[in-house]
Structure 1
Amino acid sequence: MIETLQARVNGDAVLVRRGRYLTTSFLLEVGQSAFLISIHEGRIVSVTPGPLVMPSSAFALRASEEEWKKFWSERPPPGSNDLLALIKRRVLRAEGDLQIFMAHLRYFKEALAKLRATGAAA
């Protein structure tokens, strides 16, 4: 499912434009599975599945598979509908250079929401 992120994000011209000043790589961990996601000027250029040996990323988003499933459900329950809500509930760990994450928060929220059952933005 994570592999579809590139096509879903890059197919949304508004979202790509929103991230036009964003070039970074980040680590997305879904339980024991890790994915290195590289972004260049708002476009996702690669989604590399693990196992990863010494991945180079600006920051990491880590949560259990169950929590991501709730977040990616068609209608996420309260507390699972937003990245900051997951952080507040202490089920999502954001680690690393969080300035990049916070400066482009809306981009990351909408990009990761593309993996919801309907593929709709947040």
Structure 2
Amino acid sequence: MTRFNSQWMNAWQDTVNADPTLKIIGRYFTADFLVGFDDQEYVVSVRNGVIQRVTDSLSIETPWSFALRAPTESWEKFTQKLPPPMFNDLWAMAHPLHGRLRMDGDVKVLWQNVRALTWMLERMREVADQVVVEERATRV
């Protein structure tokens, strides 16, 4: 499975939506945001803390409030079970001295929902663990 493809993003959506904590901390999080892995971009539609849809069918008319864009290599490090320094959270990845993650758009919406958003993104590590297990199983 290629990392960060549509199947991976759907697995992330399922993992996020199954998390009971998010139903509490994300209950007011309603926004569309973009997540970019190099040239591959997805719009994530969140309603009351539930990811309703993840799409890679984007056009100039696809609305989103804010964007998180980073090289695939950075996202791969971020999604490790124990990420290396400067890849352990969004703020480290976006640090001006590091500069791997770009935040664009209406970052006010990002800051208003920062706890739920970071919780959602941390669930990517659970999906990454599943992918590693599946890859090992297919090699045997």
> TM-score over 0.5 for the alignment?
yes
Q: Which amino acid aligns with 1:65?
A: T
Superposed CA offset, 1:63-113 (max 9, x none): 000000000111100110000000002110000110111111121111011
1:2 aligns with 2:9: yes
What runs of 5+ residues in structure 1 fail to find an aligned partner? none
Question: Percent of aligned pairs with the same residue?
Answer: 35
Q: Which runs of 5+ in 2 are unaligned?
A: 1-7, 131-140
Cα deviation, residue 53, structure 1: 0.8
1:115 to 115, 124, 130: 124
| Inter-partner Cα distance in structure 1 for 2:116 and 2:68 | 14
Q: Would you say the 8 A contact 1:28–1:35 is kept in 2?
A: yes
Written as runs of structure 1 = structure 2, the 5 A alignment for 1:20-59 is 20-50=27-57, 52-54=58-60, 55-59=62-66
| Aligned-partner Cα distance in 2 for 1:109–1:61 | 12
What are the equivalent positions in structure 2 for 1:77-88 lying under 5 Å apart?
A: 77-88=84-95
Distance of 1:75 and 1:49 partners within structure 2: 28
Offset of residue 27 of structure 1: 0.6
Hey, which of these two has a bigger chunk of strand by percent? Answer: 1
SS at match of 1:38: strand
Question: Are the aligned partners of 1:28 and 1:36 in contact in 2 as well (CA < 8 Å)?
Answer: yes
- Runs of 4+ aligned structure 1 residues displaced above 4 Å come to none
Would you say 1:90 and 2:134 are equivalent positions? no
Aligned length: 118
Give the aligned residue type for 1:114: R
Contact 1:59-1:96 at 8 Å conserved across structures: yes
Partner of residue 11 from structure 1, selected from 18, 24, 27: 18
SS in 2 for 1:77: coil
After TM superposition, give the deviation of residue 4 of structure 1 in Å: 1.3
TM-score, scaled relative to structure 1: 0.91
8 Å contact from structure 2 (residues 29, 116) kept in 1: no
The RMSD of aligned alpha carbons is 1.2
